[in-house]
Structure 1
Amino acid sequence: MNQHKKIALLVINCLQGGGAERVVLTLGQGFDQLGYEVHVLRFKPLVEYDLSPNLHYHVLKFKPYKLIPGCERRDKIFARSVDKYISQNIGQPDIILSNLDRTDSILSNSKLPNIIYIIHNTVSLLYKFNKNCDAEQLKKKMVEIYTKHPCVCVSEGAEKDFIKSFGHITPTTAIHNPIDKDSIQKQADAFIPEYQNYIIHVGSFKDAKRHDILIKAYAKTDQSMPLLLLGQGKHKSEIERLVIELGLEKKVVFLGFCDNPFPYIKHAQFKILTSDWEGFALVIAEALALGTPVISTNCPSGPSELLPEINLMPMGDIDTIAEKMRQAMNNPQKFHAPFNESLMPARIAEKYLEFAQRLDFTK
């Protein structure tokens, strides 16, 4: 390893599924393009992505530490092992980026410098602060974690929500997720889908994505284009039942998880998102990188920062969403929007370094 290079370390629980995991790998590529020696440390061996040979990968298994009683005690002990592993196997990183709550909790106990948390979600909605009877206790615990290090939020909406939820407890900034347009365009040419003239939705079947709203709105259109659903998740069987109930079995296609969704996105007439919340809405930016039109609910964080107003729809409004779908089915190009080149990985990595410099991390 070249000892003269600056070191960037990205830490995450695993590299299985999920948008945050993809962001970590893409951001790592951005730091590599800037000449950094890039390391990715995870706590589970699972991997569902092709790994670039330009980055260095490490696994320090958390599983043996599960035998230690007490969550807080367990995380403190494991954090000492993490610090020791980093010092012995990676060196002294110039910047350490912590991703998702499991990792954030562990690194809140780290003694290493230069740590920044990346907040990938709209926290108040993800953790249901308004509906959770234990909300105050949960918020207190999260404040203890997030006061320890500065935070980068993946959208302006996510940053506003973070401050509204916890107050000005630590330095924050908003930096959008990186989008490797060149890689996405290359992956999009891997195959041509067997379907034609279709609508695509990409996302896990979970609360935030509101597949139920999507299906009910689609049922109100003439279904002249089939609706393809890419993803897995806990609500999938429930949505399958709804499709049958509405008599849409021949129009809605469940494609399951696909490790390369980009050919489906590229060849779609348009992409739709009906979420109640997003952190950044990675799938919108990826669709724009492929020139695919997008319509989306104007949910907190993300969509309004990526799309013009004409492409946005009110959350949960089935009739309005159905009308926007009808318009897009008649004229998809009406909802075409340009890709923002400032989202390229090296440009985003530079923004992290600018934030770190303001914090006196990387003089």
Structure 2
Amino acid sequence: MKILHALNWIKFAGTENACVQLCNELVKEHEIYLMSDKNILKYIDKNVKLIEINFKKNRYNPIFLHKIAKILDEISPDIIHAHNAKVIEIIYNARFFMKKKIPLIATKHTLEFKKNYKLADLCVAVLDETKKILPPNSIIIENGILYKKPEKIKKLDKFHIISSGRLSAIKQMDVVIKALSLVKFDFVCEIFGQGEKQGELERLISELKLDKKVFLRGFVDNINDHLASCDLQIIASKFEAYGLVAIDGIYYSPLMISTNTGICERILPSELKFSATPENLAHKLDEIHANYDKFVQIFAPIKAKKDEFSVEKMAQKYINAYENLIKDFKK
């Protein structure tokens, strides 16, 4: 099958990661094109054919739309898979300039309502909550990731905590830092990610005199290695549409706790959830530190189900969806 993915690159975060994981898995058996920014090149398999497009241009510009249509006509994919609301509209409008109409499928990776999804021939939600804001012609396909055997990093001599994600208000890294200023045990915490709140978080760490305990490490390509080498992973997000970082935790972390959001709302028992205030999180951390083996055992059955979140399963569900849409399109 010839499949073209279209992604408006913002930065390498959840949506971009999900698209890359899918493309890299599908290219093992299919011809895959990815229409996106050149910045994504280092993340994709060498067999994925990148078409450099700046989707930030005016989506109503007929010259730009004609350019997109010409590219699509030349490739002539069996199906087009869009990963952002803006891209859906661009592809939909470009189809008016094309020689033949190609079916358009779109995945909703966030919980922000966007009316553009009604333009797709089929919508995919990553969770039940996401499906509620999509048109009736929607199905659910949960995200998956590719397992990479981690390399152990030297074990620290203190209780080692990791939190990873975009440094934005919604991820609530400030709650993690404030909670750590209240705990009753010694620790080291590494926060991985980039974002607009970095300066604010650096100041907070300094104000709370945590400079020798909490470290902002930026973005890394080997988060699996770090998670496999820590004692605890914290997800403090206000909400997640899905949360690939949680799947990372299931694959690699010995123990993970989270707010009641995204995939964690469904897969984690109450003992591994907390409400996102510094006091509540600090209490949970003290409890975990005092009874660590007990909490690791609680998390073990969730880790045992990691194959349910494999990229292979996700890719096969998408292939089934593509084939069904193509079949319906020909009727």
For the aligned pair, the TM-score class normalised by the smaller chain equals 0.7 to 0.9
Alpha-carbon separation, structure 2, partners of 1:262 and 1:348: 20
Match of 2:249 among 262, 269, 287: 287
1:73 is the counterpart of 2:35: no
The equivalent of 2:39 in structure 1 is 46
Q: What TM-score do the two structures reach when normalised by structure 1? A: 0.79
> Which amino acid in the other structure matches residue 4 of structure 2?
L
The equivalent of 1:134 in structure 2 is none
Match of 2:103 among 107, 111, 114: 114
1:158 is the counterpart of 2:130: yes
Match of 1:224 among 167, 186, 208: 186
Give, in angstroms, the shift of residue 193 of structure 1.
5.1
Give, in angstroms, the shift of residue 95 of structure 1.
2.5
Give, in angstroms, the shift of residue 214 of structure 1.
1.4
Query: Would the alpha carbon gap of residues 231 and 58 (structure 1) be closer, same or farther in structure 2, given more than 3 Å must change?
Result: same
Query: Would the alpha carbon gap of residues 15 and 357 (structure 1) be closer, same or farther in structure 2, given more than 3 Å must change?
Result: same
1:333 is the counterpart of 2:296: yes
Q: Is the 8 A contact 2:257 2:274 kept in 1?
A: yes
Structure 1 alignment gaps of length 5 or more: 1-5, 125-141, 164-168
Q: Is the 8 A contact 1:218 1:322 kept in 2?
A: yes
> Which amino acid in the other structure matches residue 218 of structure 2?
G
Give, in angstroms, the shift of residue 269 of structure 1.
0.5
Give, in angstroms, the shift of residue 122 of structure 1.
1.2
Alpha-carbon separation, structure 2, partners of 1:321 and 1:303: 16
Q: What TM-score do the two structures reach when normalised by structure 2? A: 0.86
What pairs up with 1:1-363 in 2 under 5 angstroms?
6-14=1-9, 16-33=11-28, 35-42=29-36, 44-47=37-40, 49-62=42-55, 66=57, 71-74=58-61, 77-88=63-74, 90-91=75-76, 93-111=77-95, 112-124=101-113, 142-143=114-115, 145-149=116-120, 150-160=122-132, 162-163=133-134, 169-181=135-147, 184-185=148-149, 188-189=150-151, 192=153, 195=156, 197-299=159-261, 301-314=262-275, 316-330=276-290, 331=292, 333-336=296-299, 337-338=302-303, 339-359=305-325, 360-361=327-328
Give, in angstroms, the shift of residue 333 of structure 1.
1.2
Give, in angstroms, the shift of residue 325 of structure 1.
1.7
Residue deviations 1:92-136, cap 9 Å, x none? x22321112332332232324221111111115xxxxxxxxxxxx
Residue deviations 1:252-278, cap 9 Å, x none? 111112122221111010110000111
Q: Is the 8 A contact 1:48 1:259 kept in 2?
A: no
Structure 2 alignment gaps of length 5 or more: 96-100
Q: Is the 8 A contact 2:5 2:35 kept in 1?
A: yes
Give, in angstroms, the shift of residue 79 of structure 1.
3.0
Q: Is the 8 A contact 2:110 2:242 kept in 1?
A: yes
- How many residues are treated as equivalent by the alignment? 316
> Which amino acid in the other structure matches residue 92 of structure 2?
S
Q: Is the 8 A contact 2:34 2:51 kept in 1?
A: yes
Q: Is the 8 A contact 2:23 2:44 kept in 1?
A: no
Query: Would the alpha carbon gap of residues 32 and 267 (structure 1) be closer, same or farther in structure 2, given more than 3 Å must change?
Result: same
Give, in angstroms, the shift of residue 13 of structure 1.
2.0
> Which amino acid in the other structure matches residue 311 of structure 1?
L
Alpha-carbon separation, structure 1, partners of 2:188 and 2:41: 28
> Which amino acid in the other structure matches residue 227 of structure 1?
C
Alpha-carbon separation, structure 2, partners of 1:8 and 1:60: 17
Tell me, what secondary structure is at the counterpart of 1:244? helix
Q: Is the 8 A contact 1:205 1:235 kept in 2?
A: yes
